Amino acid sequence: MLDDDFNQMDENKRNLFRIRFIGRKEWHYNDKERPPQDILEAEINEDQEFRSTYVLPLIALGAVMQFFGSFSENTFLKIFCMVLGTAFFIAGCFSFAHRTARISKLKAELRALETKTHP
């Protein structure tokens, strides 16, 4: 009886993972009935959500680590916090710039598509 429950849980986890994996990017390209404007808007919203959910906290974490590292009295802790904080901050800034450029490109494509369909 417990084996059936564990097997069902494993199957549910695999199905959930499959749905999340397919639902992340692949569903845009498999859906033929959706107009291209909706697909571009969905990708823009997804990138903006990723930027605000994952990238901005990474930048904040780097800044906070640098701030507290600068006031540390322990030399090792000061160096560790400054190096790690700088790494987080730089990674967040590069990711932010990449996502912003991608969003700008998608918005330009959306504007071009809208002017093409609505003269």
pLDDT (tens digit per residue) in 56-67? 999 999 999 999
Q: Is residue 79 part of a domain?
A: yes
Six token digits for residue 31: 């859906």
Q: Is residue 27 part of a domain?
A: no
Structural domain boundaries, residue 66: 36-119
Q: Would the pLDDT of 23 be above 60? A: no
Q: Is residue 16 part of a domain?
A: no
Q: Would the pLDDT of 49 be above 60? A: yes
Domain count, the chain: 1
DSSP reduced 3-state for 31: coil
Q: Is residue 58 part of a domain?
A: yes
Q: How many residues does the chain have?
A: 119
Terminal-residue alpha carbon distance, the chain: 65
Rounded-to-integer distance, Cα 102 and Cα 44, Å: 8
Q: Is residue 106 part of a domain?
A: yes
Q: What is this structure's pTM?
A: 0.66
30-35-41 Cα angle (round to 5): 90
Q: Would the pLDDT of 25 be above 60? A: no
Q: Would the pLDDT of 90 be above 70? A: yes
